[in-house]
Amino acid sequence: MAVSERGPRERMVFSAAQLIRRDGVAATGMREVAAHARAPRGSLQHYFPGGKEQLVNEAVDWAGGYAGKRVARFLAALSEPTPSGLFAAMVRQWTDEFQEVGFASGCPVAAATVDCAESTESTRTAAAAAFARWNRPVAEALTDMGVPAERAEPLATVMISALEGALLIARAERDVRALTAVAHELGPFLDGARTASRGSTGSPRTPAAPEPGRGARSGSV
């Protein structure tokens, strides 16, 4: 499953992302990608004449686009959109995955950044673009929810940073504790940023970790 009936080229990009987010970039071999995608090895040099670098960059790019589009789906699933609700949905996607299929895989963009930020310029750029494609819709959603324009973008960065960091800790500990902690603690703070000019005077008692609309997930990555 999950390897649906797309063309072999797209399957390879998808498989690359899968393997990268599990083992990292350096530990993921080209032959392994082809095998995982059930694609012929000879297709690698045909579809990706730029070699591994190109394949990795496309995988990172794909992941960035996926994360960005997912934000819209989360928003659509929220009955009453709030910053904390969006953040809880983003976090829940990961807690669900970890609890259902285990802690084997993390975020491919994080893996690419850690492995290639210094060694491969183009991949670093791709990772930066992926983060940007993720940050933008979150920031736009925040402004739509009433967050002042000048705070929307940094707050979106806070959300993504906290999520990525908690992801790391959760994988290391094999425990979703860190993820639930950031969702729980940051929820009221994010809601408090809506109308307040600054200083985060949150509404006195927003539900600590509001349940998102459920069913926001469509398919596991």
Partner DNA sequence: CCAGCTCCATGACAGCGGTCATAGTGGGTA
Partner DNA sequence: TACCCACTATGACCGCTGTCATGGAGCTGG
Binding site for DNA (CB under 7 A): 8, 28-32, 39-47, 51-53
Tokens at 5, concatenated: 């009936």
Shortest Cβ distance from residue 206 to its own copies (Å)?
A: 7
Q: How far is the CB of 109 from DNA (least distance, A)?
A: 19
CA–CA gap between residue 163 and residue 66 (Å, rounded): 16
Nearer to DNA, 20 or 86 (CB): 20
The least CB distance from residue 172 to DNA, in Å, is 21
**Residue 30 and residue 55 in contact, taking contact as beta carbons nearer than 8 Å:** yes
Closest distance of CB 114 from DNA, Å: 16
CA distance 140 to 135: 9
Listing DSSP states for 100-153 in one string gives HH-SS---HHHHHHHHHTTT-HHHHHHHHHHHHHHHHHHHHHHHHTT--HHHHH
Q: Which residues bind its own copies (CB under 8 A)?
A: 22-27, 103-106, 109-111, 113-115, 117-119, 124, 127-128, 130-131, 151, 153-155, 157-158, 160-169, 171-174, 177-178, 181-182, 184-186, 188-189, 192, 198-206, 208
